[in-house]
């Protein structure tokens, strides 16, 4: 069994960017619930239509929908040798569901990207101009941060000493080096 890593951090914390770099280095699939939900919305599937109302205002999509999505994804053959989860689990019930399906071994390392709030807001507003993601407007960003503090942050205590806290500020390369060092130790 290869590495089973979770990228945890605030919206705009750089999870997706770093996860893609780590995926290339480790050769395990990058499983991003945000990307999967955006694909579902773009394709107009039943799941996409149901998710849209939540994603557009920055709420979490109901647990049963994302749990089913991830369960199906992790059952595929390419995930048998490890995976890199990005954006899931995002609350305690999702973490418990993951542990129920895959056991306590579901994750070996949790990379927590630590970025302060002013920096996050600045990054997301900039991303809004470049990528035009519908949920990157100031009101939704503030709501996503509230959801992060209320629902996702408790996972840091839940995962305890498997969590590696990484300074998520600086250049993309510097942050990647910090993560690579942690994952190697």
Q: How far is the CB of 167 from ligand ADP (least distance, A)?
A: 18
Q: Which residues from 135-164 bind ligand ADP, rule CB under 6 A?
A: 135, 144
Q: Rounded CA gap, 110 and 95, in Å?
A: 12
CB 12 within 8 A of CB 115: yes
Candidates 38, 73, 144, 178; catalytic one: 144
Q: Rounded CA gap, 107 and 164, in Å?
A: 13
Which lies closer to ligand ADP via its Cβ, residue 60 or residue 163? 60
144 annotated active-site: yes
14 makes contact with ligand ADP (CB under 6 A)? no
18 makes contact with ligand ADP (CB under 6 A)? no
CB 8 within 8 A of CB 158: no
Q: Which residues from 84-103 bind ligand ADP, rule CB under 6 A?
A: 87-88, 90, 94
Chain-centre distance of CA 117, in angstroms?
17
55 makes contact with ligand ADP (CB under 6 A)? yes
50 annotated active-site: no
83-86 sheet: strands from edge to edge = 30-32, 83-86, 4-8, 109-114, 163-167
Total number of residues shown for the chain: 185
Nearby residues of 16 by Cβ (< 8 Å), 6 or more positions away: 32, 34, 35, 86, 87
- Main-chain dihedrals φ then ψ at residue 5, nearest 5 degrees: -115, 140
Which lies closer to ligand ADP via its Cβ, residue 42 or residue 181? 42
Among 5, 7, 12, 95, binds ligand ADP (CB under 6 A): 12
60 makes contact with ligand ADP (CB under 6 A)? yes
11 makes contact with ligand ADP (CB under 6 A)? yes
In whole angstroms, how far apart are CA 9 and each of 48, 125, 165? 24, 17, 10
54 makes contact with ligand ADP (CB under 6 A)? yes
Which lies closer to ligand ADP via its Cβ, residue 11 or residue 168? 11
Return residues touching ligand ADP (CB under 6 A).
Answer: 11-12, 33-34, 37, 54-55, 58-61, 66, 87-88, 90, 94, 135, 144
Catalytic residue annotation: 15, 90, 127, 133, 144
């Amino acid at each position: 069994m290869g590495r089973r890593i979770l990228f945890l951090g605030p919206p705009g914390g750089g999870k997706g960017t770093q996860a893609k770099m780590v995926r290339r280095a480790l050769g395990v699939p990058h499983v991003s619930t945000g990307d999967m939900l955006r694909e579902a919305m773009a394709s107009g599937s039943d799941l996409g239509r149901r998710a849209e109302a939540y994603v557009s205002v920055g709420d979490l999509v109901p647990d049963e929908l994302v749990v089913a999505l991830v369960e199906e994804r992790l059952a595929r053959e390419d995930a048998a040798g490890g995976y890199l989860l990005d954006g899931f689990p995002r609350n305690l019930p999702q973490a418990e569901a993951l542990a129920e399906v895959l056991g306590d071994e579901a994750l070996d390392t949790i990379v927590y990207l630590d970025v302060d709030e002013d920096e996050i807001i600045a990054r997301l507003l900039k991303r809004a101009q470049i990528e035009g993601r519908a949920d990157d407007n100031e009101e939704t960003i503030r709501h996503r941060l509230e959801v992060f503090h209320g629902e996702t942050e408790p996972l840091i205590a839940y995962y305890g000493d498997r969590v590696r806290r990484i300074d998520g500020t600086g250049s993309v390369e510097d942050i990647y080096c910090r993560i690579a060092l942690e994952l190697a130790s």
